[in-house]
């Protein structure tokens, strides 16, 4: 079985890296970044015949792989369904990695997961993290804050008629392109057997970010600040969604991203 010492950085020998969820928002960018570093990268998803929930195609995809990067997200959000997705996917993937001799498992998770367990989604992400920690494969969990690209989804979830009701709690969102850079860096580095937190360059109120986004899109909806409004059904405060001390910060500012967003 490969060990963590078999993992080389971008300046070393090319690695075979499998990116689970390689056709998604983050996955496509991770694949591109790793290929630019000269690695042999296989994007894997149900559309390419690799299904972590059923196990279909996993053994073939992982043959000879030194690193697996898991950035797949659940296709469903109902509490039990999302839990089953991350549990089945995690068990199947980790077992296939062990059989293939994979030396490093990199997974994308969410800053504040342990503070958001009133949500079934975050309970499922915690279950995924626990499976990774209990497995025998050296790992790195990259916990990211929310992506700028999800601000529209936050607005949609909080819309009642023409009003968007949101709390002023801080979060520290970041660009998906910056997330992908950090994930790719983790993939070619030594496993940390722990977590890395990544975030945007500055905290901003959830209500303020959505207001700026809607203004930039010339959206007529009005954002109303309500301290008791929920974030995807959860009550949050300034600590819920922000990173701890010494996160790695992406360079892209929200205002800059807004100017270039379609």
pLDDT at 8: 44
CATH superfamily, domain at 4-147+174-201+246-252: NAD(P)-binding Rossmann-like Domain (3.40.50.720)
Concatenated DSSP letters of the chain: ---GGG---TTSSPPEEEEETTTSHHHHHHHHHHHHTT-EEEEE-GGGT--TTT-TTHHHHHTT-SEEEE----S--SHHHHHHHHHHHHHHHHHHHHHHT--EEEEEEETTGGG-TTSHHHHHHHHHHHHHHHSSS-EEEEEE--BGGGHHHHHHHTEETTEEEE---EE--B-HHHHHHHHHHHHHS---SEEEEEE-SS-EEHHHHHHHHHHHTT---EEEE-TT--BTTB---TTTBS--SSPEEPS--HHHHHHH--
Q: What is the reported pTM?
A: 0.93
Instruction: Check residue 2 and give its pLDDT.
Output: 32
> In this predicted structure, what is the pLDDT of residue 76?
85
Question: How would you write the pLDDT of the chain (262 residues) with one tens digit per residue?
Answer: 233 333 444 446 899 999 999 999 999 999 999 999 999 999 999 999 999 999 999 999 999 999 999 999 998 889 999 999 999 999 999 999 999 999 999 999 999 999 999 999 999 999 999 999 999 999 999 999 999 999 999 999 999 999 999 999 999 999 999 999 999 999 999 999 999 999 999 999 999 999 999 999 999 999 999 999 999 889 999 999 999 999 999 999 999 999 988 6
């Amino acid at each position: 079985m490969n060990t963590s010492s078999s993992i080389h950085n971008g300046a070393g020998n090319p690695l075979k890296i499998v990116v689970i969820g390689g056709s998604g928002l983050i996955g496509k960018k991770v694949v591109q970044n790793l290929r630019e570093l000269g690695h042999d990268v296989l994007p894997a998803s149900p559309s390419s015949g690799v299904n972590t929930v059923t196990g279909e195609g996993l053994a073939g995809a992982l043959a000879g792989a030194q690193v697996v990067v898991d950035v797949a997200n659940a296709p469903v959000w109902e509490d039990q369904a999302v839990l089953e997705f991350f549990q089945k996917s995690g068990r199947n993937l980790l077992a296939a990695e062990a059989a293939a001799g994979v030396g490093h498992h990199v997974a994308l998770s969410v800053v504040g997961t342990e503070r958001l367990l009133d949500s079934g989604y975050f309970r499922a992400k915690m279950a995924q993290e626990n499976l990774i920690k209990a497995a025998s494969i050296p790992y790195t969990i990259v916990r990211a804050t929310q992506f700028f690209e999800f601000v529209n989804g936050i607005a949609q979830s909080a819309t009642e008629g023409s009003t968007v009701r949101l709390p002023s709690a801080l979060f520290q969102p970041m660009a998906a392109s910056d997330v992908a850079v950090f994930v790719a860096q983790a993939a070619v580095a030594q496993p940390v057997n722990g977590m890395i937190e990544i975030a945007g360059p500055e905290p901003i109120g959830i209500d303020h970010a959505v207001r700026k986004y809607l203004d930039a899109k010339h959206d007529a909806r009005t954002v109303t600040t309500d301290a008791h409004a929920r974030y995807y059904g959860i009550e949050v405060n300034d600590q819920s969604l922000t990173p701890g001390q010494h996160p790695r910060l992406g360079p892209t500012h929200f205002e800059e991203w807004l100017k270039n967003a379609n």
